Amino acid sequence: MNQISPVQTDTAATAATPDLRRVNSNPDFWYPVAWSSALRRNKTLAVSFAGIPMVLVRPEEGTVFALFDRCPHRQVPLSKGTVNGQTVRCCYHGWAFGRSGRCIDVPYLGKGKMPNGVRTFPVREEGGLIFVFPGDPAKADTVPFPKLAQTANPAYKTKQFGPRVNCHYTFMHENLMDMNHQFLHRRQMGQIKARFLGQDKGEDFIEARYSFMRCAGQQPLAERLIFGKHKDLNGREQPIEEVVTIRTEYPYQTLRITDKDGDLIMDLWTAYVPVDKDERVTQAFGLLSILRPQTPLLIDLIWPALGWFTNRIFLEDKEIVELEQAAWNEVGHDRNVEIFPVVKALRELLTRCGIAQDAAPQADAAPVALAAPAACAATPETTA
């Protein structure tokens, strides 16, 4: 009876390296929290970042603003209230709060001393997404805003997708970064084998490059339409010459595909936004830009198939990362035994740039004034 211990080399958390699933997202970055289309004029929208309730308000005039989504009076969500001009009025006793968070009216109180207001969050709206800066607002202007795939480039058509996944955001990073998991998608993509070409890394990023080889099975239609046929004149499969580059640049992740001429044919940008305080539920926001083919009609033709195809693949990824989270919940700590250097380095990056839960501010306190770890602000250095 072979009694091989499954715990021999697991990645136990130590004082030096906390459990990766207890590393919170660093709030000193811009995070998308809603699609622009979900928030109409004169309406509110309740969103959440790591358990911090926020109300987004789009007034009749002007830009969206974001407040802590609890009326300071009785803690009910301001998002249940009404929008009047540049204010949001609590649905319960009608207290009104302005863009600055200040309380500007209590209907049954004289115009003198007003109660305290609520916390505000910096907001930016770009590429069809509403972003907030949940951390120290003083840093909002200096922290770089991400490039959102090719949303601004008319040569590309961009698809939005925003699944909610019941797992820690780090599982999502690992899933996409490790292209050796093509076995998971064998039913959708046939038997494809990734070939690891190399990596780059720096203080706040890691990047892996792969090419792919079809081992067996049919090439799916959507794949063929984007990448073309990979057969020689005798109908034999040829190595796929595109290069897939996956990059986690904290806290975002991108996947870019370039063809043999080096042209960017697909550009995926994604952010994994923690919903709950423990960060075990993740709202993903993804932008997938596809280079329009020379036959302009083609992209519109394949668009539905592409949606169906990416959705099928994503559902497999969602199921597996949720199983990973479930296994973590079972034992209460990370037992993964990683052997792939890129993923090992990714785990270090996520630990380094995130905020270990014990070190994090208490649930109750607003996570302001956290010093961004120096590591993540440094200039990236490139390693082969």
List contacts with a copy of itself (CB under 8 A). 1-10, 51, 53, 68, 70, 72-77, 80, 89-94, 100-102, 106-109, 115-120, 122, 137-138, 140, 178, 180-181, 183-184, 193-194, 196, 320, 323-324, 327-328, 330-332, 335-340, 363-364, 368
Nearer to a copy of itself, 94 or 190 (CB): 94
Q: How far is the CB of 64 from a copy of itself (least distance, A)?
A: 15
The 8-class DSSP code of residue 181 comes to G
The 8-class DSSP code of residue 73 comes to T
Q: How far is the CB of 174 from a copy of itself (least distance, A)?
A: 8
Q: What angle do CA 225, 231, 234 make, to 5 degrees?
A: 140
Nearer to a copy of itself, 120 or 283 (CB): 120
DSSP bridge pairs for 105: 96
Nearer to a copy of itself, 183 or 308 (CB): 183
Nearer to a copy of itself, 5 or 142 (CB): 5
**Which of these, 8, 21, 1, 18, lies nearest to 325 by C-alpha position?**
21
The contacts of residue 3 (CB under 8 Å, 6+ apart) are none
Nearer to a copy of itself, 290 or 342 (CB): 342
Q: What does the block give as tokens for 202?
A: 């720096």
Q: What angle do CA 315, 317, 321 make, to 5 degrees?
A: 120
Q: How far is the CB of 297 from a copy of itself (least distance, A)?
A: 38
Q: How far is the CB of 88 from a copy of itself (least distance, A)?
A: 13
- 282 with 272: CB under 8 angstroms? yes
Nearer to a copy of itself, 298 or 363 (CB): 363
Q: How far is the CB of 251 from a copy of itself (least distance, A)?
A: 21
Q: How far is the CB of 123 from a copy of itself (least distance, A)?
A: 11
Q: How far is the CB of 37 from a copy of itself (least distance, A)?
A: 26
Nearer to a copy of itself, 369 or 378 (CB): 369
Q: Tokens 């974001």, residue?
A: 66
d(CA 255, CA 269): 7
d(CA 30, CA 225): 35
The 8-class DSSP code of residue 324 comes to H
Dihedral angle of Cα 307, 130, 205, 371, to the nearest 10 degrees: -160
- Any long-range contacts for 81-84 (C-beta under 8 Å, 24+ apart)? 81/44, 83/42, 83/43, 83/44, 83/57, 83/58, 83/59
Q: How far is the CB of 33 from a copy of itself (least distance, A)?
A: 17
Nearer to a copy of itself, 295 or 362 (CB): 362
